[in-house]
Amino acid sequence: MTGKRKSSMRFHPGSREEPEINLIPFIDVLLVVLIFLMLSTTYNRFTEMQLRLPSADTDAQRDYPQQIVISIAVDGRYMVDKEILPERSDVEALTSVLSAASANKTNPVAIINADAGAAYQSVVSAMEAARRAGLTQLTFASQSSGRVKN
């Protein structure tokens, strides 16, 4: 063996290296997929109904000579033209009072003036009583918004 070198391969049966799984590229791919799904997905959002309650301009108030004012307190009590009805009056009692109040008026306007904390059912009952009493014109009173028009 002149001039040639023998290479010998040494195999060590006990010194095997475990293969490593590199998770960083896997995490990068998952993040890209997650961002893609977030940007391409449409979300249906159920929103609440936005209501803007009416406000009145105090300069534009009209004068109704034939009016019937129905006031509703926060606890559900009614007052018709400054006459307080018994507590927890029902629709029939309110209808009879409204019929008596509108008997000598021509084409009266019913104005419902309800407290902000009054129950919705109290307002609906007043509307139903006005309908049964034959009052065809119905309006709601509101507070001034405090805004000044230029």
Mean model confidence pLDDT for the chain: 77
pLDDT at 150: 45
Instruction: Give the span between the Cα atoms of 19 and 115, in whole angstroms.
Output: 77
Domains detected in the chain: 58-140 (3.30.420.270)
Q: Which residue has the higher pLDDT, 78 or 13?
A: 78
Instruction: Give the span between the Cα atoms of 128 and 64, in whole angstroms.
Output: 22
Least confident of 86-95, 127-136, 140-149: 140-149
pLDDT at 64: 46
pTM of the model: 0.53
Rounded to the nearest 10 degrees, how much is the dihedral formed by the CA atoms of 102, 106, 107, 109? -50
Cα 90–chain centre separation? 29
Instruction: Give the span between the Cα atoms of 77 and 1, in whole angstroms.
Output: 121
